[in-house]
Amino acid sequence: MPNINSSFRALEGAADFLGTGAIEVNMYEPEIFDIVRRSSVALNRLPQVKATGHPHRYFEQTAISSGSFTDPRAITPSATGPIRVERTAYIKAIVAQSNISLFDKDVTQQQGQFAYVVAKDIDDIISGIQVTRAAAIWNGNDTSMTTPTTIQYMGLLNQITNQFTIAPGASIIDGLKAAVASIFANTTYAAKPTAIYVNPILGDYLDREAKASQITFGKSTVVAGVEVETLRTQAGELPIIGESFLPSAAGALYGFDAPPAGNLNYFAVILTEKDIEMPYISGDSDDPNPRLFQLGLTGNLTGQYVGVKFDCILAKGPSYAHGVVAVQRP
């Protein structure tokens, strides 16, 4: 006959309570609490294009033929022509991998409580790539588009050289409007900004200033289900998009001086979004999304799943079509 008392004792390590007429064992909610950030608004708004190769190449026209006044009875034109410059951008690789044990997968599925977890973890390989991209489009640490110095993106904060600073105590709203006006007023280039991306803490400072000044922002839907405030500028109503991956800095960074003591540089990026591109490589599949590969089983029957994305971030006209604003606040 089995020893019932010894069976009870075997459960003691896992049971919540053992008593007369009661054996309480661990139970869990069937859903895993999960609000981990997996993407960004910027990734959904910035255009992806097929790369021309590695590197991706394009031409930028920086000037047109020059006109000049002349005596109408003695016309003396001077021959001029357009100026075009070759540009390159090197493709980068972003990867993520998960190894899933056959035994652990079978146990989980047999218990039935978390039967969806395998599919969730495989899907999160792609999410891991997207989060890495979402951060690197702003703060990727490469320092050159033509001669790469690291394997990361050259982030927009490093690419865009048109820079503005709003000192402590100065109006953030006025400073942003002035920066947009400066870009829009360029008589050589017809840049027309379409969005202002801001560090969320900077967005809060902006809201507080608007409230104190009794300024009412407009509203705009930037992607499905995401509504943001808009700022009236010389380039029109621009959405103010909170971007969690936009950093702040306590020291000198991205070409800006260190802020005064007790302050940080909170960054806002003014983009002409059609002139931001993410050239990608995907072979003959023409797939702009990260791709997932199953590498098969290893010797210990562990499944290997690898996600891959080949692309880069490219700001065309970095010195005139866009702008970076450092707002100095505590």
3-state secondary structure 285-298: HCCCCCEEEEEEEC
Domain contains 131: yes
Q: What is the pLDDT of residue 4?
A: 47
Torsion of CA 328, 233, 157, 326, to 10 degrees: -10
pLDDT category of residue 171 using cuts at 50, 70 and 90: very high
24-66 pLDDT, tens digit per residue, is 878 777 777 877 777 889 999 999 999 999 999 999 999 988 8
Answer yes or no: is pLDDT of 1 > 70: no
Q: 117 vs 105, 107, 189, CA distance in Å?
A: 9, 12, 52
Q: What is the pLDDT of residue 106?
A: 86
Residue type, 45: R
Answer yes or no: is pLDDT of 235 > 80: yes
Whole-model pTM? Answer: 0.88
- Contact predicate 47/273, CB 8 Å: yes
Domain contains 63: no
- Contact predicate 137/155, CB 8 Å: yes
Answer yes or no: is pLDDT of 101 > 90: no
Domain contains 294: yes
Of all residues in the chain, the percent with pLDDT exceeding 90 is 69
Domain contains 54: no
Please, which residues have CB within 8 angstroms of residue 153's CB and are 6 or more apart in sequence? 92, 133, 136, 137, 140, 142, 312, 313
The DSSP secondary structure of 246-285, one letter per residue, reads --EESSSBTTBPPPPTT-EEEEEEEE-GGGEEEEEE-GGG
The parent domain of residue 170 ranges over 92-329
Report which of residues 285 and 163 the model is more confident about: 163
Query: What domain count does the chain have?
Result: 1
pLDDT category of residue 13 using cuts at 50, 70 and 90: low
Across the range 241-250, mean pLDDT stands at: 95
Q: What are phi and psi of 282, to 5 degrees?
A: -145, 25
Across the range 166-185, mean pLDDT stands at: 97
Taking alpha carbons only, the member of 153, 160, 143, 149 closest to residue 56 is 153
Domain contains 61: no
Taking alpha carbons only, the member of 176, 306, 187 closest to residue 232 is 176
- Contact predicate 220/237, CB 8 Å: yes
Domain contains 19: no
Domain contains 97: yes
Ranges of beta strands (E only) in 6-89 are: 15-19, 22-25, 48-50, 56-63, 83-89
Q: What is the pLDDT of residue 156?
A: 98
Domain contains 20: no
Which tokens sit at 111?
């218990």
